[in-house]
Chain A
């Protein structure tokens, strides 16, 4: 049932073998499977103590319409990977290819949902989405089409009731919903989410996860989500990429989640398969990749 691949074993550090055993039995054609290709991405940051290598040869191939989570301990470079895909950071070596084109700059085809929502506080909910829509669909949509599109996307995240409220007047969960609407409104090829629910309380988080699953069922976006929440990763993802500890972090193992959709959190809590996946991720995080500080403690 489960397929856990030790990527490090498949790609020895010195080797250049590009094999892909990830999906022997899946019927997805190769072109679709290589929709977003992160290959041999390394990044070094200059510090006063010399260069700091945060990522070392990160490899990940993501299919169109796939929901993939990146999980790892804090500080392992998950966000760095996301920022490189977004084009906000430049890889020192290797690169990212989206639909056959190399990624060098940020762009609306890779919309980002930031952890702390990052809505512009002086604009209303509507205006925040409008800013993105006006910029992305300039000369492509008429004024009324844009208006309709903005309202449609806010409807998707159930925020139609607060179109003209400012971010300071709505709750944290609502802000994050608007953040998601803004990203969706860009009609991105890939939706990048940087711990989107990390700052929310458990109940709000569950609500938003359900909303996200609903949206995902309708739109079937390609999503890369950073998380440190094991349940969230298992519940939402098609695959979970587990990252080793930094420095020189990389994708340690990839876990395929073959749970039937739609998934219901209550039903799953009793599901042995679900619990098995959870155990796999937990074992990776707390047995194979314990934080260095915890090892000595």
Chain B
């Protein structure tokens, strides 16, 4: 039981939780205390040092929007943003209540009256922007994976196909998202024309930009993973006469899963970075737009609010990477971290 818990924590990359479990079960307190200090204490000390340095140095920098905010001001803005979010939600609820009451009254007077239900049009809060960004990045990332994994497997299995598409991959891979953006924007506005759009154009544009940039690591890693499968494993499949699809699904795909997940992890990381840049430049809703709006706004709180956003971007990026790493460890055969 205990070992199982420890195992799970270790697979999840939460190695600092292991000494805690061991302490809780009364295992050599001194040794576990040392381990805890090493795994949890040292990083905490580093963070404290960083906050101290930040606080001291930020006070020295004077900008047109006042001094650069230190950790305490940033924390104040975090609280502030949360309060604004609550306030906005309360307004929304009030709006819907008012509308319902109004419609009810109208119906009371005249049952045949046509009532109007209008959606709430308040500005999205910081937390709404986070959700929008997450939704966009996952859409783009999923789209990229759906294209990249099958294509990568095909490339890995066929040398000819890989030789054929290799130059294209090499050329498209290093292109910056900002270079894609104008083209994607124009193509989306030209092609995505419907009266009743399921998604906003801005959303489609940023998701596609993410797709275009996060396609390549998955594609290359999948192809490499499939191409580097131990030939004997494939020969096992040939000896027992597996047909083509069984060969792919029972041998090639599971054998290259660890490599595929390495690719997916890199792709998601790139996708997240690309998305923020795309949102900033193209005014697509999301965290990037939040940063840009605050920058344009230029109030005395703006710098603090931007820093909240920057830290949030980092934190979410870290959580996404951790999620992918955990997934990767669960699918890898050796159960050792690929770090």
Residues of A within 8 A of B (CB): 86, 88, 106-108, 110-112, 114, 116, 118, 120-122, 131-132, 135-136, 166, 168, 186
Q: Can you list 5 A-B pairs with a CB-CB distance of less than 8 A?
A: A88-B235, A107-B241, A108-B241, A110-B239, A120-B255
Q: Which residue of B lies closest to A88 (CB)?
A: B235
Hey, which chain A residues are within 8 Å of B241, CB to CB?
A: 106-108, 135-136
Partner of B333, one of A108, A116, A132, A166: A166
Q: A108 with B254: in contact, given A118-B230, A120-B233, A166-B333 (CB under 8 Å)?
A: no
Hey, which chain B residues are within 8 Å of A168, CB to CB?
A: 333-335
Q: Which residue of B lies closest to A188 (CB)?
A: B239
9 shortest A-B CB distances, which residue pairs?
Answer: A121-B333, A118-B232, A106-B238, A135-B240, A114-B232, A132-B240, A106-B239, A122-B254, A122-B333
Q: A120 with B240: in contact, given A131-B250, A168-B333 (CB under 8 Å)?
A: no
> Shortest distance in angstroms between A111's beta carbon and chain B's nearest beta carbon?
6
Partner of A108, one of B239, B250, B257, B335: B239
A-B interface pairs (CB < 8 A), number: 57
Q: Which residue of B lies closest to A114 (CB)?
A: B232
Given A106-B239, A120-B254, A131-B250, output 6 extra A-B contacts at Cβ < 8 Å. Answer: A112-B235, A118-B235, A118-B236, A120-B251, A121-B333, A136-B240
Chain B contact residue count (CB 8 A cutoff): 19
**CB within 8 Å of A: which B280-338 residues:** 333-335
Is B242 located at the chain interface by the 8 A CB criterion? yes
What 0/1 pattern do residues 227 to 267 of B give for CB contact below 8 A with A? 00010110110111110001000110011010000000000
Q: Which residue of B lies closest to A86 (CB)?
A: B239
Docked Cα-Cα span, A122 to B249, in Å, equals 13
The binding surface of chain B is classed by DSSP as helix
Hey, which chain A residues are within 8 Å of B242, CB to CB?
A: 135
The binding surface of chain A is classed by DSSP as loop
**Is the beta-carbon distance between A131 and B240 smaller than 8 angstroms?**
yes
Hey, which chain B residues are within 8 Å of A116, CB to CB?
A: 230, 232
Docked Cα-Cα span, A62 to B233, in Å, equals 28
Docked Cα-Cα span, A135 to B233, in Å, equals 15
> Shortest distance in angstroms between B248's beta carbon and chain A's nearest beta carbon?
14
Q: A114 with B235: in contact, given A108-B241, A168-B333 (CB under 8 Å)?
A: yes
Hey, which chain A residues are within 8 Å of B239, CB to CB?
A: 86, 88, 106-108, 110-112, 186
Q: Which of A86, A112, A120, A132 has the most CB of B within 10 A?
A: A120
> Shortest distance in angstroms between A132's beta carbon and chain B's nearest beta carbon?
5
Docked Cα-Cα span, A116 to B231, in Å, equals 11
Docked Cα-Cα span, A132 to B239, in Å, equals 9
Hey, which chain B residues are within 8 Å of A111, CB to CB?
A: 239
Docked Cα-Cα span, A88 to B246, in Å, equals 18
> Shortest distance in angstroms between B137's beta carbon and chain A's nearest beta carbon?
29
**Is the beta-carbon distance between B240 and A186 smaller than 8 angstroms?**
yes
Docked Cα-Cα span, A132 to B235, in Å, equals 12
> Shortest distance in angstroms between A171's beta carbon and chain B's nearest beta carbon?
16
Docked Cα-Cα span, A106 to B334, in Å, equals 30
Hey, which chain B residues are within 8 Å of A186, CB to CB?
A: 239-240
What 0/1 pattern do residues 196 to 215 of B give for CB contact below 8 A with A? 00000000000000000000
Hey, which chain B residues are within 8 Å of A110, CB to CB?
A: 239
Hey, which chain A residues are within 8 Å of B236, CB to CB?
A: 112, 114, 118, 120, 132
> Shortest distance in angstroms between A138's beta carbon and chain B's nearest beta carbon?
10
Hey, which chain A residues are within 8 Å of B254, CB to CB?
A: 120, 122
Docked Cα-Cα span, A108 to B237, in Å, equals 10
Partner of B238, one of A88, A121, A166: A88
Hey, which chain B residues are within 8 Å of A166, CB to CB?
A: 333
Docked Cα-Cα span, A214 to B94, in Å, equals 84
Q: Which residue of A lies closest to B243 (CB)?
A: A135
Hey, which chain B residues are within 8 Å of A120, CB to CB?
A: 233, 236, 251, 254-255
Hey, which chain A residues are within 8 Å of B335, CB to CB?
A: 168
> Shortest distance in angstroms between B266's beta carbon and chain A's nearest beta carbon?
22
Docked Cα-Cα span, A107 to B238, in Å, equals 7
Docked Cα-Cα span, A111 to B235, in Å, equals 11
**CB within 8 Å of A: which B34-58 residues:** none
Docked Cα-Cα span, A132 to B241, in Å, equals 9
Docked Cα-Cα span, A166 to B232, in Å, equals 18
> Shortest distance in angstroms between B256's beta carbon and chain A's nearest beta carbon?
11
Q: Which of B232, B246, B250 has the most CB of A within 10 A?
A: B232
**Is the beta-carbon distance between A106 and B251 smaller than 8 angstroms?**
no
Hey, which chain B residues are within 8 Å of A112, CB to CB?
A: 235-236, 239
Docked Cα-Cα span, A106 to B112, in Å, equals 79
Docked Cα-Cα span, A120 to B236, in Å, equals 9
Docked Cα-Cα span, A135 to B255, in Å, equals 19
